[in-house]
Amino acid sequence: MTTATIRDTKLYAKRAVFLHCFQTVARGVAIEAKYETPSERASAVFAESEYSGRARELWTALRMLPGEHRERYGDIDFDSPRNQPGLQLADWFAYEVHQEFKRLRGEKKQSRPREPFNAFWEMCQPALMVRCFNRRDLVAIYEPNVREMRARHRPGK
């Protein structure tokens, strides 16, 4: 397998996991809008990244799928956290959740959650919704595709 092929399969796996998580968030936003007035649309701003184009395509596809939530998808935009304070908050919260998981797995010596995590968690209750994906579950979903890509690019095939 060439270096380029290895890079391609790693990129595929990373992109697939990102889009899996993105789709889950996008669907959750649309479901939340369902509980608002009938004209309410779920619009969102995400941090600009190398996946922005693919994420925009996925958002557009979700708007066209048949189903009970498609009419709730509004606009999507991408921007820098420097311009959008809400994205800074999302990044900070992701960092704090990551630190908490490290603590729970025993990778940190702390016996209690960090104070910023506790304060934010308490402030957002009962409405805060956090969905965590187990790495093993995501690998189980996408690993067969990665293995297939690798098999297609083996020398002699």
List the chain domain ranges.
1-79+133-157, 84-126
DSSP 82-109: TT-HHHHHHHHHHHHHHHHHHHHTTSS-
Share of the chain above pLDDT 90, in %: 3
> What was the pLDDT predicted at 79?
93
Check pLDDT > 60 for residue 127.
yes
List the structure tokens of 58: 């996925």
Q: Of all helices (H) and strands (E), which one includes residue 76?
A: strand 73-79
User: Per the confidence metrics, is the pTM higher than 0.75?
Assistant: no
Mean pLDDT of 89-117: 84
- Burial class from Cβ neighbours inside 10 Å (0-12, 13-18, 19+) for residue 58 reads middle
> What was the pLDDT predicted at 83?
92
> What was the pLDDT predicted at 147?
65
Are 77 and 44 within 8 A, CB to CB? Answer: yes
Mean pLDDT of 61-84: 85
